[in-house]
Structure 1
Amino acid sequence: MSRWLFLFLIVAVVEIYAFQAFRTITKVKSYQFIYVILNVVAIIYIINGFFHFDRSVGQTKQSLLTIGLLLLMFVPKLLITFVMIFEDIYRVFSGTITRFLGDRDYGSFLPERRKFVSQIAYGLAAIPFVSFLYGMTYGKYNFKVIKQTLTFDDLPESFDGFTLAQISDIHSGSFDNPDKIKYAVDLINKQKFDLLLFTGDIVNTDATEMHPWIDTFRELKNPTFGKYSILGNHDYGTYKNWPSDKALEDNFEAVKDLHRQIDFKLLLNENVKIQKDNQEIALVGVENWGRHFGEKGDINKASENLNKEDFKILMSHDPSHWEYVVKNHEKHFHLTLSGHTHGFQFGIEIPGIVKWSPVQYVYKQWAGLYENLGKYVYVNRGFGFHAYPGRVGIWPEITIIELKKGKKVA
């Protein structure tokens, strides 16, 4: 109860400050009335969405919209509140000086709010508002192709120039635009690659979420060396309440079968050898391993017939697996491909200048390429979206990685 009271107080303070700023900007009563009505309607919709969320159904288009609307409303108002609080600090300080050191009576202890401060507050708030709105309408389908070249001195010569494509975190239950998904699949098919890899989370929870999209993803071209995939934390179906354990297990089996239906070979704690010109590399796929989402992945089982000297590419959905297990594993996994974080679907990335997202305070490796003693992990930013129905600054990604043989340039 105390938690809900605390939350109510925060929302109340934010709403009061936001309205005070709006009222300072315009004295027109009709505008103020419209502002209040629109905000009341939005708040009622958000509250209704949260209180009627059904765990037996899981995430729906309505729950996605609820979270999106919450961020669209609350984050800009939170920024307004910070500006207004700083103005209040100034007003209290100014009023104190005036009352006790001034030469004349100013009447009210606190000076009136200044219009230009409220205008600045709303101007700053427009930045996250427009960003979240763009992310919900265009950003979530703003697919980017990111290319990397990695050099290894022990890469078999036949694989010099070998190229693989990675997608991750499809989250098909969130899609709402068939044309955009078709565009993304076509964009993947335009790339040149020898191997196509998918690193988990084909659905949000329920296998049926993928059914409308199977024909589209079946159009992904089958490169020379095939298409392989693994499971992510959402693929186990634990994000909703099922009527029975059997229903949960049936859904899990159906999720695994989705990979077959879109022509991917699902690797479940196992490995395959990719052979080219009498040489080979090992592709290792583990089930999900995550400190907060279960540790079903068994890297020892998945690599039990491999040696340290074998060149290995590991698919592991959660990058924390690399941080806590893989990078120091005795069998030396050359390249690990992960996803999971989505880059929080929110952040700022300007190559060579800034790379920031709130998710970096949870995951040490959260987007892009990381290295430790000649071993790499690449964290794909995700193909789809989840929870917040959009993307701001962290765009959906198609990764193309070329393997080269030779000494790394320092």
Structure 2
Amino acid sequence: MALAVKNWTAVVVSVVAVIVADVYIFTSSLSFSTKAIIFRAHFIFGIQVVLFFLSRYVWRRLGGIFDSHSEQLEKVKDDATTTARGLSRSGPLGVRTPCTVVWRIILFVYLICCHVSYLTNLYFIGTEPAFISMVTYICLGSFVHLITGMLIMGILGCIGRLLQLKRYNANSRRRLRTLAAMMYALSISFYGLYTAHKLPTVKHVRVPVKDLPPSLEGFRIVQLSDIHLGPTVGRSKVKDVVEITNQLQPDIVVLTGDLVDGSVDRLHKAAEPLQQLQTTFGKFYVTGNHEYYTGDVDNWMRYVETLGFTALDNANAKISHQWAPAEQICIAGTNDIDAERIGYKNHRMNLDQALAMCNPKYPTILLAHQPKAAKLALSSKHRVDLVLSGHTHGGQMFPLIIGAYLINPFFAGLYKYGPSSHVYVSMGTVYWGIPMRVFTTREISEIILTRM
């Protein structure tokens, strides 16, 4: 009982510390470069707190799974004091064997890899992913699946107890559930790795647009989103994306945020292949929340322009054919909705500025990284016919899919809003951090505009 109280006290203190740090970061008058450092330290601390308690749980459940058990030791489980002491030392009561010692060393190294995964964002970012980054993030992904498997098996165990299924003794049932969770984690991790390293799927989406000029019927927009150049994504994946995109022969390419998870100095060579994207009318870019987390947003906006992109900093551009210059669509873009919350200089989502001078007689296509921003734009006074967003990754992998679905007004795919407006949310062209995708796919979206 005392141990449980201490654990919950530690959890509460850690959560309060994270909240206080969050408030301090976003309300202080510190320079943004300082805020960015504090924000990263705060984020790392939050992750480590969560991982600590989950790792402790895993260690207690898995540390003694290969112990040699006996009937005599099983009887000791009724002694609360002895049980607590046994669990605190080595998980389930049992006799340690050489196999157990080796297993605990492996488990310890595995848990350490999970803990250091995010630290590779600070020290191992370059043109291509470092080996240590890939290994630690794979461990972190499998850890998520392991916890999920243990939760599923725990639920099944509760159902079994309710149905009074007692084919095996309690320790045997516990061991079987733990082994089943480990098998689940291994199998789903391999599946996630395979899916994430496949080439992106091209999704062809036809969107009816009101007042679309005849000269722009069939206008093709290729949307790239959430590439996340960083510890596990590098230049080679960008080259694959560029090759597939060029085969589509797009009229324009739009990059809807979260291009990077690091500074221009470290990642400019990784992003360089984007210069080879070929379009008829141009390439357009808006920021995502992760660009702001790098603390290097302005440099990235300048750099993508050297790659041939137009950075839409709450701005817009008109597109029309030479033979029909009066018939146009307006391509607008906003800074990420989190820019103001983070406090990055004068950056914020400014719809009035982004849509200024867009002719309301003709369609407006808005680039806004987060679906929450899309909802704000569509419910505003401005004419917005189509919003292209990303951010959600479709949840990237189970069970994170559930959270992404619940907290975003638009989750993934095409949505109709009101009588004639639409939102398209990309699942992301690559992935963030963990190189796994489970029940989601990498995608390159080809948006084809048709007359309504």
Same fold by TM-score greater than 0.5: yes
Residue in structure 2 matching 1:14, options 47, 58, 61: 58
For residues 7-406 of structure 1, the aligned pairs below 5 Å read: 10-19=54-63, 29-47=97-115, 53=119, 62=132, 65-73=135-143, 75-80=145-150, 83=153, 87=157, 111-114=169-172, 118-119=175-176, 121-136=178-193, 139-176=196-233, 178-221=235-278, 223-236=279-292, 238-239=293-294, 251-276=296-321, 277-278=324-325, 279-290=327-338, 296-323=348-375, 325-347=376-398, 357-373=402-418, 374-406=420-452
The DSSP-based 3-state class of the residue aligned with 1:113 is: helix
- 8 Å CA contact 1:214–1:261 kept in 2: the answer is no
- 1:142–1:134 distance in 2 versus 1, CA, 3 Å: farther
SS at match of 1:172: coil
CA positional deviation for 1:389:
3.2
> Residues 268 and 22 from structure 1, CA distance in 2 versus in 1: closer, same or farther, beyond 3 angstroms?
same
Deviation of 1:149 after TM superposition, in Å, equals 0.5
Say if 2:396 and 2:437, in contact at 8 Å, map to a contact too.
Answer: yes
**Which whole-Å deviations, capped at 9, do the CAs of 1:137-159 have from their partners, x for residues lacking one?**
65145411111001134211111
Letter of the 2:172 partner, please give it: R
> C-alpha separation between the residues in 1 aligned to 2:196 and 2:365?
31
- Cα distance, 1:71–1:215 mapped onto 2, change above 3 Å: closer
Distance 2:390 2:223 in 1: 10
Counterpart code for 2:109: V
Question: How far has the Cα of 1:135 moved from its partner?
Answer: 3.0
C-alpha deviation, 1:313, in angstroms = 0.4
RMSD of aligned residue pairs (Cα, Å) = 3.7
* TM-fit CA distance, 1:77: 4.8
Change (3 A) 1:91 1:180: same
Contact kept, 8 Å, 1:80 with 1:124, in 2: the verdict is: yes
Contact in 2 for aligned 1:169/1:384 (Cα 8 Å): yes
Which amino acid counterpart does residue 326 of structure 1 have in structure 2? A
Ranked by relative contact order (alpha carbons within 8 Å, sequence separation 6 or more), the top structure is 1
2:26 corresponds to: none
What corresponds to 1:107 in structure 2?
Answer: none
Q: Which moved more, 1:140-149 or 1:86-95?
A: 86-95
Mapped partners of 1:48, 1:306: distance in 2: 48
Give yes or no for contact 1:282–1:310 (8 Å, CA) kept in 2: yes
**More helix by percentage:** 2
In 1: Cα distance, 2:275 partner to 2:391 partner: 23
- Report the AA paired with residue 38 of structure 1: I
The more displaced of 65-74 and 139-148 is 65-74
Q: TM-score, normalised by structure 1?
A: 0.77
Unaligned runs of 5+ in 1: 98-109, 240-247, 349-354
The alignment of Structure 1 onto Structure 2 pairs a total of residues equal to: 371
In structure 2, list runs of 5 or more residues that go unmatched.
Answer: 1-8, 15-48, 70-94
Alpha-carbon offset, residue 31 of structure 1: 4.0
| Larger deviation, residues 307-316 vs 174-183 | 174-183
SS of the counterpart of 1:228?
A: strand
Give how far 1:129 is off: 2.7
| Structure 2 counterpart SS, 1:389 | coil
Q: 1:371 to 1:11 in 2, by over 3 A?
A: same
Q: AA paired with 1:73?
A: F
Distance 2:274 2:155 in 1: 51
